[in-house]
Structure 1
């Protein structure tokens, strides 16, 4: 699948970032084997691929959880308490930035700006944006995701039993 996508992107100028995005969509992250494959297929040095992967914070070299929590650390969010939001999430989940919970349900990350400055402080969980957060509100958002996980688990059990 990736090989076919690479062939399509190869015809465009500067395909590396596009190919890496596609590879991450497919695999969830960019392990060394995938980086090597991309370098070989695009005929670029592995060091160039690695440099791009490690330079941009949207590329991951480790697997991530089902739900990636990104905390905006842009100026507006920083001024409105983004650090307190990170601390609250860390306390709630028992992980630090860059880590994943043991159950592989949450990964905590930070990013520069989501363009939602009027809602500061802001987090994104996957594609969902949550704004005007306080430490307590963000903990409630996380608890709601956990409740959904528990509900999904019960539904799956009843389908198997039924």
Structure 2
């Protein structure tokens, strides 16, 4: 009798754990988020990041996307492919370390730009962290991505200005 109760207890624990973990992974799946396809199509193509601005830029440095000083992004080239939400970014500022990486991106239905930087040798589906930025001022030739950062306990906006490449 004790063996049967013990086996039932073990079986209950296994099924309970499996069920909970399946629910958590399903809720975290990005496929459940609806995308803003029209904005994605408007952004597709080649762009140059022409300016990075934020309050206090003369006093503080911002490490953008955990890669480099924000000023190193000025002049960087970005390619956005809207039909598969992939692309590339290349940093080429003379006084900074050169960097090129594939990216995965999308714009959700709240107008937030979702950016994932894909490390070499990593499949994009395995990248679990990324950045959320606001899309603003979208025209045929320019747009901004706006990031929120914390400086001394205060929220500040970092604006990345993009111009369509010729």
TM-score normalised to structure 1 length: 0.29
TM-score normalised to structure 2 length: 0.28
| Larger-Rg structure | 2
Larger proportion of strand: 2
